[in-house]
Amino acid sequence: MDVKKDIRFRVYIAFTCICLLGVAILVKAAMIQVREGEELRNAAKEVHTRNMPLQAERGNIYNEDGLLLSSSVPQFNIHVDFSAITPKIFNKEVDSLALCLSHLYNDMTEGEYRKELQEAYDNQEMYYQLFRHLPYDKYEQLRYFPIFRHGKGSGGFIAEPEVKRKNPYETLATSIIGTWRPGMAIGLEATYDNSLKGTDGSRIEQKTTGTWMPIEGSEEEAVNGKDIVTTLDMGIQDVAEHVLYGVLKNEKCEYGTCIVMEVNTGKIRAMVNLGRDSTGDYTEQRNYALMPTEPGSTFKLVTLISLLNDKYVTVDDIIDAEGGQIRFGNRVMRDSHLGLHAMPIWKAFAESSNAAMAKLANTYYYKDPDQFVGHLRKLHLDKKTGIDLGGEYRSNVKGPENRSWSQTSLPWMATGYEVQITPLHTCMLYNSIANNGKMMKPYLVSSIREYGKDVQTFSPVTVVEQVGSPAVVEQLKRCTQAVVREGTAKNISSPFYTIAGKTGTAQVADKGITYRDGYYQGSFVGYFPAEKPKYTICVVIRTRPHSNIYYGGAVAAPVFRMIADKIFAGNIGGWDGPLDSVAKNAADSKIPALQATVRNYQTLLQAVGMQVPAQAEQPGSFAQLYTDTTKKMVIRPRQVYYGNVPDVTGMGLKDAVYLLEQEGLQVQIAGRGRVRQQSLTPGTKVVKGENIILQLS
């Protein structure tokens, strides 16, 4: 083959290959057009358009007084793209920016900010973090600072918005109100999440000349969340938390819970849950009000309800406690204080006799324990309360069908052991007695609102129409009043209003704890005023191991009294005319001013243009302001009457402790400063060795 033919052959081969390649490209293009054309066209379109979500605004949480309890607050994470800032802008405005930043937070000097900004610019950092969680008001200032006012393109300013839920009352009622962040919610924030969260919207944006612009008519508006209105009264909540905190701190208890329920409706006005954290302080951690435990003697009311409804006894019948210890099977039931013998049943209840109540239950229900357990189920103690709050545990109410049932189960259940119910169940139970036998369902939200108008309201719900006949309920009221009048809670009796309730003390054996570990649960649940109850309060406190103070009457009942005093005297929670009631109770005696030093009184009265003679020798000694027989005011030395509880409010701790210990009282202290409140009423008879709690401020 000559050279020309060889060249021509090679040209033909190359041309043929090129033609075949062209044909292959055309075939492939046709196949792509047919098979993948639509998908690729949509992908190309998406490069120039995007679907942007429009976030709905989460609803707020209020209480019935209109106080804001939880709201969404915008915050911003601020970053800077230094690579977008030209040298001319940076060098000209960096000093001014450093000065403005130093004034914004006062955390660094102008020079320190200048150095930090220069280093970041030299490194050309593209996502430099300047601030995290910046509040909206500071963000509004920051975006107009030098350099940043040029925007993202020339000023490198990158603001990433985020939403944070904030409680204006900070830690108050956090276990009830709850917390929220994307993907996680607890408390009312979780229970009513569907109402609060709203519905997100969307819009389509198109990229034109480097800028994303919304396409007109493409928006689907977001529907903002609704507001919820809770039954919590923040005045009562604040009082309950401070009182409970003081006692827990002073006694170094493990945890405590306090529930305040409105008698007629079942509205929860306060719910406090404080547990000891790793630092030894007390914070809202778990909702102990919804956790079942062995209630102890407060459960004796259930035993009494059963006996009275079955018409086996009346509260005036006599029961022999046999000295306070009775054998049942292979175990002995003992009273905490031995020596009780024959007495009326109401007296046995008031003295909290374990032996008497166990004997009554065993006598009448031994042959048919199902009858006794049936009463527990009629009272809904085997079910959840149904409160509109997540995290409630189910009670543990066993019957003869359970494998753990034994011949001692019935007498022990009658005194609050071998049965587990929540403090909220206990509160419901006693509230039904205060409410003339009608058991109300507890609830925390009274309405759901949209744009300020109620779209859904929640009315009181009756769980049990009558826990007993009117005659039965009247007998139960007599028993609960006797507890405070002359029984285990007589230390909290008030001269201004009547209290009814029951103390409870139980050894604890749960969650890995055995009875030998020495943990106790002291409780008190009651209502006031006893004649026309307004509120039921349940206090449950778990003590530290082997504590010297663990009885319900000593550790929990004073908490009830201090909370009730604050509600009564402070006109908290819509109380009607407490001062009129005080005046009526004190009609036969003068109501003196609180004690202060002579010098304090003279300074105060001189400020209002009055000169009042002082009958105290030392200007720094304690005195009180009185009116004499001629209606003139006079400063007299403070009188202390032996055998009566002295009034030490307003005193320094040293003087108060001296006076109280002189009377034979055991003083417990909560807080710092001067005495703000005392658990025993001034003027009442002293019981030697009795505990008195001083709340300081």
pLDDT of the residue at 44 = 55
10-residue averages of pLDDT along the chain (697 residues):
69 79 78 69 62 80 90 85 89 91 86 90 89 85 89 84 80 87 84 88 70 69 89 93 92 94 96 92 91 94 97 96 92 88 95 95 95 96 94 93 94 95 97 97 95 92 96 97 94 91 87 78 95 96 85 91 86 49 42 58 70 57 60 64 74 78 78 75 73 75
pLDDT of the residue at 305 = 97
User: Angle, nearest 10°, between helix axes 423-434 and 470-486?
Assistant: 110
Three-state helix/strand/coil letters over 330-368: CEEEECCCCCCCEEEHHHHHHCCCHHHHHHHHHHHHCCC
Instruction: Look at strands 633-637 and 622-627 and give their pairing.
Output: antiparallel
Bond before 613 cis per omega within 30 degrees? no
Please tell me the distance from the alpha carbon of residue 118 to that of residue 166, in angstroms, as a whole number. 36
**Beta-carbon count within 10 A of 689 CB:** 8
- Strands laid side by side in the 633-637 sheet: 596-597, 622-627, 633-637
Cβ density class 453-464: b for 16+ within 10 Å, e for less: eeeeebeeeebb
Residue 309 phi, psi dihedral angles, 5° rounding: -65, -35
User: Taking the complete model, does pTM exceed 0.75, yes or no?
Assistant: no
Residue 327 phi, psi dihedral angles, 5° rounding: -85, 135
pLDDT of the residue at 372 = 97
Please tell me the distance from the alpha carbon of residue 577 to that of residue 568, in angstroms, as a whole number. 9
- Strands laid side by side in the 666-670 sheet: 666-670, 691-696, 675-678
Please tell me the distance from the alpha carbon of residue 437 to that of residue 405, in angstroms, as a whole number. 30
pLDDT of the residue at 365 = 96
Cα 630 from chain centroid?
A: 52
Residue with tokens 């009352």: 169
Cα 383 from chain centroid?
A: 23
**Do residues 455 and 192 touch, judged by C-beta distance below 8 A?**
no
Determine which helix (DSSP H) or strand (DSSP E) holds 29, and give its type and residue range: helix 3-35
Closest by alpha carbon to 425, among 308, 520, 504?
Answer: 504
Please tell me the distance from the alpha carbon of residue 61 to that of residue 379, in angstroms, as a whole number. 32
Alpha-carbon distances, residue 475 vs 202, 215, 315 (angstroms): 64, 75, 6
Cα 269 from chain centroid?
A: 11
Burial of 140 (0-12, 13-18, 19+ CB in 10 A): exposed
Alpha-carbon distances, residue 368 vs 85, 362, 399 (angstroms): 87, 10, 11
Please tell me the distance from the alpha carbon of residue 244 to that of residue 411, in angstroms, as a whole number. 32
Please give the full DSSP string across 541-557, using - where no structure is assigned: EEPPTT-S---HHHHTH
Please tell me the distance from the alpha carbon of residue 98 to that of residue 566, in angstroms, as a whole number. 52
pLDDT of the residue at 322 = 94
Alpha-carbon distances, residue 657 vs 27, 248, 507, 647, 691 (angstroms): 102, 20, 31, 11, 12
Determine which helix (DSSP H) or strand (DSSP E) holds 53, and give its type and residue range: strand 49-54
Q: Which residues contact 453 (CB under 8 A, 6 or more apart)?
A: none
Q: Which residues contact 554 (CB under 8 A, 6 or more apart)?
A: 491, 522, 691
pLDDT of the residue at 589 = 43
Q: In one letter, which amino acid is 41?
A: R
